[in-house]
């Protein structure tokens, strides 16, 4: 008989984390990357200095009030640091990772090819996805360390901070007026909250800032699908958003692969950011001003939705590696 180092409950599984706290960690690790990615995409500080996926459409230059860009940047940096620190501690305490390393183990132990490490440096959101997946895979092993209770507390704090920021700072898509009943008028008719609600791409719920009611994205679907059609993003972000919204789509990796097929076949028209630059015009024999395409190709959500809804749901085969599906 031992005790859970997080909640103090008695455990009979020989681990220092009870079943409930393991479940809690699992949920944190599932949601944290979704919050992180959305906040990184919207962070005004980054959007101004550097093109971020989707930022041209999503960030219109108006700070909607809830906090500064710095606060979000700082929180994201702290979360990444926390996850990296925990990963290194794990690698030191439990050094026997089977070789060859899996991708997640390579990220946990910081044992990667230099080119891949560089790429991850430029993509903190991807790093967080991999670190969270890695911690989740090693949860049983972590539950035998004396620091597992502290890690659960930290993960919980960061998850709730990022959730708070997501719900307050990310504008998201308009999801219609809140339908929550808040009282009755003199004729006995129901008075509804009617506060405008918004959903962040990748989340499966909508929280009303007026009354605090939380409802499922599916309940707002017609409004959101109409609102979100013009959103432009890279294929993975599109897959995450569609899986969170459309009930028949259940696997982010599967839909992502399908979107890439459509891209490959030329079914989706790419949108690229333009920047004003200069180029040498050989015919004219001088430097001329030219608009140059920069960054990764992005695609319109409406085009992806049309394909999903007309060609039918993405099939789920038995060999799917669906570790990164969006929570439902
Ligand atoms: Zn517990
Ligand atoms: Zn409401």
Q: How many whole angstroms from 159 Cα to the centroid of ligand 1?
A: 17
pTM for the whole thing?
A: 0.58
Q: How many whole angstroms from 7 Cα to the centroid of ligand 2?
A: 33
- Same domain? For 159 and 20 the reply is yes
Q: How many whole angstroms from 155 Cα to the centroid of ligand 2?
A: 29
Residues having C-beta closer than 5 Å to ion ligand 2: 178, 180, 193, 195, 208, 210-211, 213
Nearest-10 Cα torsion for 239, 240, 242, 247? 120
- Same domain? For 215 and 114 the reply is no
Question: What distance in Å separates the CA atoms of residue 131 and residue 86, rounded to the nearest whole number?
Answer: 9
Instruction: Please give the backbone phi and psi of residue 296, each rounded to the nearest 5 degrees, phi first.
Output: -80, 155
- Same domain? For 118 and 39 the reply is yes
- Same domain? For 148 and 182 the reply is no
Is a pLDDT exceeding 80 seen at residue 107?
yes
Query: What is the torsional sign of CA 298, 303, 309, 311?
Result: negative
Higher pLDDT, 14 or 58: 14
Among residues 228, 252, 273, the one where a domain terminates is 228
pLDDT of residue 22: 94
In sequence order, which residues have a C-beta less than 8 Å from that of residue 24 and are 6 or more positions away?
A: 6, 152, 156
Residues 282-294, mean pLDDT to the nearest whole number: 75
> Which structural domain range is residue 287 located in?
232-328
pLDDT of residue 169: 66
Q: How many whole angstroms from 7 Cα to the centroid of ligand 1?
A: 4
Residues 244/203, Cβ–Cβ less than 8 Å: yes
Higher pLDDT, 242 or 319: 242
Residue 44, token pair as written in the block: 């005004």
- Same domain? For 58 and 161 the reply is yes
Q: How many whole angstroms from 273 Cα to the centroid of ligand 1?
A: 48
Q: How many domains does the chain have?
A: 3
- Same domain? For 93 and 53 the reply is yes
- Same domain? For 122 and 19 the reply is yes
**Could you read off the pLDDT of 214-233 as tens digits, one per residue?**
888 888 888 888 878 878 88
| Pick from 71-85, 138-152, 178-192, 216-230: least confident | 216-230
- Same domain? For 34 and 146 the reply is yes
pLDDT of residue 325: 44
- Same domain? For 120 and 26 the reply is yes
Is a pLDDT exceeding 80 seen at residue 289?
no
* Helix (DSSP H) and strand (DSSP E) numbers for the chain: 13, 11
- Same domain? For 84 and 138 the reply is yes
Q: How many whole angstroms from 76 Cα to the centroid of ligand 2?
A: 28
Question: What distance in Å separates the CA atoms of residue 139 and residue 142, rounded to the nearest whole number?
Answer: 5
Among residues 169, 185, 207, the one where a domain terminates is 169
Mean pLDDT of the chain: 81
pLDDT of residue 5: 93
Q: Which of 319, 135, 324 lies closest to 236, judged by CA?
A: 324
Among residues 169, 186, 215, the one where a domain terminates is 169
Question: What distance in Å separates the CA atoms of residue 252 and residue 305, rounded to the nearest whole number?
Answer: 14
Q: How many whole angstroms from 192 Cα to the centroid of ligand 2?
A: 8
- Same domain? For 276 and 190 the reply is no
- Same domain? For 124 and 186 the reply is no
Q: pLDDT confidence of 18, banded at 50, 70, 90?
A: very high
Residues 38/201, Cβ–Cβ less than 8 Å: yes
């Amino acid at each position: 008989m031992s005790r859970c180092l997080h909640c103090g409950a008695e455990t009979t599984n020989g681990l220092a984390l009870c079943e409930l706290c393991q479940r809690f960690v699992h949920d944190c690790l599932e949601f944290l990357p979704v919050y992180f990615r959305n906040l990184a995409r919207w962070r005004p500080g980054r959007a101004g200095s550097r093109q971020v996926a989707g930022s041209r459409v999503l960030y219109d230059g108006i700070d909607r009030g809830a906090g500064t860009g710095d606060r979000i940047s700082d929180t994201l940096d702290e979360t990444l640091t926390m996850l990296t620190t925990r990963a290194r501690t794990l690698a030191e305490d439990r050094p026997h990772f089977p070789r060859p390393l899996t991708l997640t183990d390579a990220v946990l132990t910081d044992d990667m090819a230099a080119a891949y490490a560089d790429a991850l440096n430029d993509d903190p959101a991807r790093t967080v996805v991999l670190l969270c997946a890695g911690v989740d895979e090693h949860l049983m092993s972590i539950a035998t360390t004396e620091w597992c209770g502290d890690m659960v507390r930290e993960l919980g704090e960061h998850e709730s901070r990022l959730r708070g920021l997501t719900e307050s700072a990310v504008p998201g898509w308009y999801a219609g007026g809140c339908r929550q009943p808040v009282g009755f008028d003199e004729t006995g008719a129901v008075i509804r909250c009617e506060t405008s609600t918004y959903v962040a791409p990748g989340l499966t719920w909508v929280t009303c800032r007026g009354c605090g009611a939380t409802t499922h994205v599916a309940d707002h679907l017609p409004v959101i699908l109409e609102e979100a059609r013009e959103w432009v993003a890279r294929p993975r972000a599109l897959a995450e958003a569609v899986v969170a919204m459309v009930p028949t789509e259940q696997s982010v990796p599967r839909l992502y692969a399908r979107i890439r097929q459509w891209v490959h076949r030329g079914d989706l028209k790419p949108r690229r950011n333009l920047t004003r630059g200069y180029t040498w015009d050989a015919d004219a024999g001088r430097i001329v001003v030219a608009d140059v395409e920069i960054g990764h190709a992005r695609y319109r959500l409406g085009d992806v939705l049309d394909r999903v809804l007309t060609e039918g749901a993405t099939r789920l085969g038995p060999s799917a590696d669906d570790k990164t599906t969006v929570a439902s």
